[in-house]
Each structure stands twice: as structure tokens, then as C-alpha cells.
Amino acid sequence: MLDRKKLRDDPELVKAKLATRGEEYPAVVDRIFELDTEERKTQVELDDLRRERKELSKEIGKLMQAGDAAQADEKKESVKAVNEKTAAVEARFNALQDERISLLGTLPNLPDDSVPVGGEDARQLIKEHGEQRSLAFKGKDHVELAASLNLVDFAAAGRISGSGFQFYVGLGAELQRALINLMLDVHISEHGYREMRPPFIVKPEAPYGTGQLPKFKEEMYHVFTPLEQVVHDPGGQPDYYLIPTAEVPVCNYYGGCILPPDALPVKLVAYTPCWRVEAGHYGHEARGLRRVHEFDKVELVVLCAPEESDDALERMTGEAEHILELLELPYRRVLLPTGDMTFASAKTYDLDVYSAVSGEWLEVSSASNTSDFQARRANIRFRRDAKAKPEFVHMLNASGLALPRIVIALLENNQLEDGSVAVPEPLQRYMRGVERLAPPENPLPFFD
RNA sequence: GGAGAGGUGGCCGAGUGGUUGAAGGCGGCAGUCUCGAAAACUGUUAUGCGGGUUUCCCCCGCAUCGGGGGUUCGAAUCCCCCCCUCUCCGCCA
């Protein structure tokens, strides 16, 4: 949510900045500006009428206590007249306010000044790390490796859940668990995060707070309770959503709270599965583990004071990179342009990992500074001092990291000519000391 | 899922239709006392929106007692719906 006052004070600036994110936005800003002006005029009218009613009602109370029923009745009539006027003005006020708020909810965050203007072409390479070496032999892609090493059963997942789901088996499942634990442990003990285990199913208010709603409703899975038990249906919303990222429940953890002085920064890390509809066909883009409906991710969330958030974004991105370095995966950091950022973000870095087989970069992390945008929507504030007025915190999130494409890169980059895959050293202790992923001696019976 | 109880300010808790934004207590902050601290005493202690003044100082209005709707001249208080918590029963990993 953008600051209503900022939009009021400098609509041209807001329009110019939002225009870099989508051509449809300036017109919305104009409309909100009109609504805001009219709404405030109406509020003055409304407040006056309500004050009048309040005063009269008090007088009626006094008259009743004094036993003067006749005069009281007379006043009651005048209050009724005031109430009629109030009802009309109130209806107008509510209509203006509703429209303003719902339109404001559809505007994305203002991009930071350091963000390049433009679409995908304007992506800015910040750094590259590690050698993008190619294999000395013809490597298999991760789907072939996953099959030959008996790590992932795509066919079974397809039968049971449909395309876009995976059945990790044996060492494949252990690898997931190992990656999750490695990431959590590093973020907790080296980077000072506190682990959270949030619920995976949330009410609509939560994705609204983080900005997935109302614009990206179709990207989330809806969870309905059985029809006869559907009791609340505010605004036609389904009952629940499956989280598309841990950001949704974790960022809402302090929803509505005013954090005391010295509470910031708050650093939270959570592993959760993530569910995304990913409607449409992607072909090669979606092969195997590239783009899936359900995946595992370790997510970092930081709440900090406004003046800290620029540094916090750099730090968090570095912390995600640290995991890639531990896994010895070549990666690059890219600064996303205005047209490419997620809704709530003011500035986003993507981390891409290099795949030796396809020679492509695969996105494994997105680190965003949402400034006060999510904090406004979720209403999360803090006090600098015991007596200071509450201010909105700044909120940041970064994947640290998303697993499927890590697995792709790990398998493809670390494969050896004999068809096995080397396990990076830091990961071995999380996998019972396994150094190589090799075809199991007695694989699961496999049906295709 | 069934039956019952309840949700009030940072916390505890009073308040069942009238000047209650809300008693009292605790905590916090400021002051008096003290060499200092404790104790005691005094004062103070919500958020949002709008208007004025004009800049962070104050003044005024409105709203807010889980959320929404209703009754009424007037609702924390009465009615309806929803959300949440607790107790017992049922079911269940």
C-alpha cells in the first residue's frame, strides 16, 4: 500500500514512478487523487453532522433525567432529521473510501531510485561468482539424472497429483531434507536468524498484507472447506489459500503490532513448501524441476527501521549467496528493472545459478526490499523510543534458497562421467556422509 | 462436529443503554524527596482519519471496547452474523 499522503502531496512524482512499472497506473493515481479530495470534503461534512447528533443526544439524556419528556421528544425529532442527512453523507463517504482503498490496493510499490527503468532487457548484471565450466563429456540433464539415480519419480507424481508435482524418493528425498537443514542451520547460526514454522494455509488477509491479493489471486491455490461448512465469504473470497511462499505467513506474524524500541531488526527464517498455480504451458521452461506447482524453499524475512533497509537488502542477498558458495554453485546477481519486479518490491535482486548442461541461468532466489509497502498493508509499526510516534517498519524478504533449481544445478554441474553425482562437502554431513549420488544397488521397483 | 464460557487501553480488570476514550490496579514515563537508589507522594501514559494552526508544537472534530451489520434520540452495554480463545464431550494423525 502506498502512502495516501504521499500520493496527495506529489501525485506527479507517484505517477511518473509507477509509469515505469505499467502504463495503466497513472490513470489510477489520478482517480485516487480525485477520490481522496472528495472524500476529505465529505468527511468534514460527516464529522460535523455526527458532532451535532452527539451533542443533541447528550442534551436528551439530561432532559430525560430531569423528567422533561416533552422537550426530550422535541429534540428527538431534530436528531432524526440530522440522522437522515448523516445517513446520506455517510453512504457517500463510504463509497468514496471503499473505491479509494480498493484502487490503492492495486497499485504496486514505488521503485527505488537505483532501479533501472525498463523491461527484461534492462536487467543489470551486478556480479558473477564461480567458474561457468562446461562438462568434459556429454552430460545428462537433471531429468535423466533423477531417473537414472532413482531420485525423483515424475511419473508417479503425475499419476497421483498431476503435472508439475514431484515424488522425491530415497536419496532424492534425503537431498531435499539435507538442503533444507543446511540452509536453516547456516542462516540461524551464522546469520543470526530465528526459525519459524508457520501454517501453510492462510486466510485472505495474509496474502493481502504481503501484496499477493488482490492482483494475483489466480496464482494461488484456493482451499475450500466442504460446501455446507462455508460460513464466511467476505467479498466472495474463498475460505483459505495455500501459501505461495513462506513470506505470506511470516511477514504477517507481526500484523497489526507496534514493535517496542530495540526490537528491530527482526530476522526470521522459515522452511515451507510453496504452492503456485503457474497457469499456462511453458514447454522447456517447465521441464522436470524447472517450474513446478509445489516446491520447497527456505525464506528469509527481515523487519527493520527505514534507514536500515538499503543495507539490509545487500546483507540478505549476500546471505543467500553464501549458501550458493557453500554448495559451490556458480551464480550471478542481477538487479531487476522496474518492469520486472514483484508487486510489493521497491528493489529486487535475483540470484541465478548456472547450469552446465543447458548453459542457462536458473533463478533460485529473489531478494526484495518492500520498504514500507507491506508494512502498511499488514499494519506493522515500531517505536524508536517509548514516547515516539509509531512508524511503519521496512520489510524485506529473500529466498535462501528455493530448492528445485538448486537440485537441477547440483545434479547437472556435479555429474561425473560414470553417471554419478558428487555431493558438495558441506552437504555430506546432512546426508549421512554420502559423498556420491550413485544408482542404488536395489532401486525402488519403478513403473512407467 | 456438539454443548457451554469468554474476547475491554502495554498488561490485569471494572463497567448491562445516557456527559465513559472508558473506574481501579500493575507496568512505563516525568517530577518531588535523596549523595544516589529503593520506598512514598504528585502528575502523565492509545491509535487512526480529518480540519485549523503550522510545522513537528499545540488546538478542534470524528472514529475505534475482536470484526461486520441492526435496534435506539443515544450502544462497550441490547439483537443478528462472522473471527478468535478457553472448558467439557465426540472424532482423529
- Tens digits of per-residue pLDDT, A104-113? 989 999 999 9
pLDDT, residue A279, reads 80
Evaluate if the CB of A64 falls below 7 Å from strand B: yes
Gap between the terminal Cα atoms of chain A: 49
pLDDT, residue A231, reads 39
Query: CA dist A110 to A1, A30, A107, A113, A379, Å?
Result: 10, 16, 9, 9, 18
Distance CA A341, CA A25 (A): 15
Among candidate residues A172, A176, A180, the one with its CA nearest the CA of residue A271: A180
Give nearest nucleotide to A41 (CA–C1').
B50
Evaluate if the CB of A6 falls below 7 Å from strand B: no
Strand partners, A382: A259, A391
Please answer whether residues A353 and A319 qualify as being in contact, where contact means their C-beta atoms are separated by less than 8 angstroms: no
pLDDT, residue A30, reads 95
pLDDT, residue A447, reads 60
Query: CA dist A273 to A221, A337, A352, A425, Å?
Result: 13, 28, 20, 25
Please answer whether residues A398 and A368 qualify as being in contact, where contact means their C-beta atoms are separated by less than 8 angstroms: yes
For the CA of A303 and the C1' of B46, the distance in angstroms is 23
Query: CA dist A214 to A48, A102, A104, Å?
Result: 34, 9, 11
pLDDT, residue A448, reads 55
Distance CA A328, CA A190 (A): 18
Residue nearest to nucleotide B17 (CA to C1'): A61
| Helix (H) or strand (E) run with residue A383 in it | none
Evaluate if the CB of A269 falls below 7 Å from strand B: no
| Strand order across the beta sheet in which A124-129 lies | A124-129, A331-335, A347-354, A361-369, A394-402, A294-304, A266-275, A194-196
pLDDT, residue A371, reads 95
Evaluate if the CB of A60 falls below 7 Å from strand B: yes
Q: What angle, 0 to 180 degrees and rounded to 10, lies between the N-to-C axes of helices A11-19 and A25-66?
A: 140
pLDDT, residue A27, reads 96
Cell of A405: 533449481
Evaluate if the CB of A238 falls below 7 Å from strand B: no
For every residue of A102-152, DSSP letters joined together read HHHTTS-PPPPTTSPPSSGGG-EEEEEES--PPPSS-PPPHHHHHHHTT-B
Distance CA A139, CA A300 (A): 34
| Strand order across the beta sheet in which A222-223 lies | A201-202, A240-242, A222-223
Evaluate if the CB of A284 falls below 7 Å from strand B: no
For the CA of A184 and the C1' of B90, the distance in angstroms is 40
Cell of A355: 547450469
Q: What is the pLDDT of residues A227-248, one digit of tens each?
A: 444 433 433 445 788 999 999 9
Amino acid in position A131: E
Give nearest nucleotide to A52 (CA–C1').
B61
pLDDT, residue A237, reads 42
Q: Which portions of chain A are predicted below pLDDT 50? A: 227-237
Evaluate if the CB of A65 falls below 7 Å from strand B: yes
ipTM: 0.87
For the CA of A168 and the C1' of B75, the distance in angstroms is 59
Strand partners, A298: A271
DSSP conformation class of A305: -
Report the Cα A286 to chain-centroid distance in Å: 22
Give nearest nucleotide to A385 (CA–C1').
B29
User: pTM for the complete prediction?
Assistant: 0.92
Evaluate if the CB of A40 falls below 7 Å from strand B: yes
Strands A294-304 and A240-242: unpaired
pLDDT, residue A261, reads 79
Name the burial class of residue A163, with classes exposed (0-12), middle (13-18) and buried (19+) by CB atoms within 10 angstroms of its CB. Answer: exposed
Distance CA A100, CA A33 (A): 9
Distance CA A110, CA A94 (A): 27
Total Cβ atoms within 10 A of residue A99: 16
Evaluate if the CB of A83 falls below 7 Å from strand B: yes
Cell of A89: 453523507
Encode A8-39: b = buried (16+ Cβ within 10 Å), e = exposed. Answer: eeebeebbebbebbeeebbebbeebbebbeeb
For the CA of A260 and the C1' of B10, the distance in angstroms is 10
The nucleotides of chain B lying under 7 Å from a protein CB are 1, 18-19, 28-29, 47-51, 61-63, 73-74, 81-83
Give nearest nucleotide to A78 (CA–C1').
B73
